[in-house]
Amino acid sequence: MSQVTRCWLSFAAIGSGVVHLALVISSPLPLAVPMLVLGLAELIWAVSVLVKDRIVTARLAQIGATAPLILWSLLVVVATMLGTPQIASPLRFVPMAIAAAFELFIAGTIAVYLRRVAAASHPDAAPAPTQTQSAGRYLAAVFVGGLLVGALTTPALAATQAGTVAQEHGGTMGGMMMMDMPGMGHH
Amino acid sequence: MTKSPNRMLATIFGAVYLLIGLLGFAVTGGVGFIATKGGLLLGLFEVNPLHNVAHLLIGAALVIAGLSSIRASRTVNSVIGAVYLLLGIVGLFILDSPANILAINGWDNVLHFASAIILLGVGLGADKGRVATA
């Protein structure tokens, strides 16, 4: 896996981790604790990937990226079936959906990586070519990843309880606080 | 310098932060040094004089490191990236409290967060094999 792809994976994990941490504020304790653990784990994993120059605990990371999606889906289904939307409403739609996009990117990229590792371990496999790139090109790719994660994380954070407080203190964050999205809720 | 992502990033970010720090003083006339409500830079980012000083110090550290060596720029990029990430997270919780001595608003958090991931990504991920030869 290239250095840029690892960097993007790490950025996605940081974005997802920060969104999950921001959701802790508005969540009741049974949801806040797993959100806190998940957010911190994502941040630690992101830094580990950068520091160790490889995908750390790839299978566990893949499970960690998909499990919250499945659990959130189940929670929404249960809340709908029981007619009690307050069960799922603390996990607002916009931040959870954006965190889900990050998680899907992580899970998909790791799946491709694991397949390539399995193929490379085959006795007939050709050695992988060594990739080298210029500093400018690498930096441009990092900037694109950083801006994309920032652009996706901004509306996610704005739609959390923490972001709602920001509306009172520093404006509407360019109108993003005024979005009327299903499941987002207003105060 | 153009061969090292860390040196290039530190120099560019440092110059930008120095500029932001200087421009900040143009919108913080009459604002208390640690006032929780400051002036709006570019109509978006809320700053007070302490926030401007922080931008100037961070910009200076980045520029000096970027012009010095790969090892220095890697260290400074990583440390400032980590501090920004922490500030981005803490900033979410202190927006409407007296602890907000940097007059942080929502857009500041976004800027801090974006800076954090780019600085951390390059600081921790790039130039690993080249530090010894820097």
| Assigned domain for B133 exists | no
Domain that includes residue A19, residue range: 3-121+133-178
B55 located within any domain: yes
Low-confidence residues of chain B: pLDDT under 50: 132-134
Query: What pLDDT score was predicted for residue A162?
Result: 64
Please give the residue range of the domain that contains residue B78: 5-128
Would residue A23 count as lying in a domain? yes
Which residues in chain A are contacts of B78 at CB distance < 8 A? none
**Is residue A169 less than 8 Å (CB to CB) from chain B?**
yes
Minimal Cβ distance to B120: which of A50, A150, A171: A50
Number of structural domains chain A divides into: 1
**What's the number of domains chain B is made of?**
1
In a domain, B88, yes or no: yes
Alpha-helical (H) ranges within B32-95 are 49-68, 70-94
Residue range A144-176, pLDDT digits in tens: 898 888 878 877 887 876 666 655 555 444 444
CA angle (B107, A49, A120) in 5-degree steps:
135
Whether residue A187 is contained in a domain is answered as no
Interval A21-37 mean pLDDT:
88
ipTM: 0.71
Residue A183 placed within a domain: no
What's the predicted TM-score (pTM) here? 0.77
pLDDT in tens, A47-60: 999 888 888 899 99
CB contact under 8 A, B95 and A139: no
Residue A186 lies in a domain: no
DSSP string, A92-109: -HHHHHHHHHHHHHHHHH
Residue A128 lies in a domain: no
Question: Within a 13 Å sphere around the CA of B60, how many CA atoms are in the beta-carbon half?
Answer: 8
pLDDT band at residue A132 using 50, 70 and 90 as cut-offs: low
Half-sphere exposure of A31 (CA within 13 A, CB side): 20
Chain A interface, best mutation among B44, B90, B108, B110, by max A CB count within 10 A: B110
A112 domain-assigned: yes
Average pLDDT of chain A is 81
Q: What is the pLDDT of residue A187?
A: 39
Q: Of the ranges A15-24, A76-85, B90-99, which one carries the lowest mean pLDDT score?
A: B90-99
What pLDDT score does A164 carry? Answer: 65
Residue A87, in any domain of the structure: yes
Interface mutation target, options A16, A169, A178, A179, chain B, most CBs of B under 10 Å? A169
Helix H or strand E segment including B40: strand B39-41
Spatial distance between the Cα atoms of A138 and A3, rounded to a whole number of angstroms: 8
Residue A126 C-alpha, separation from nearest chain B C-alpha, in angstroms: 25
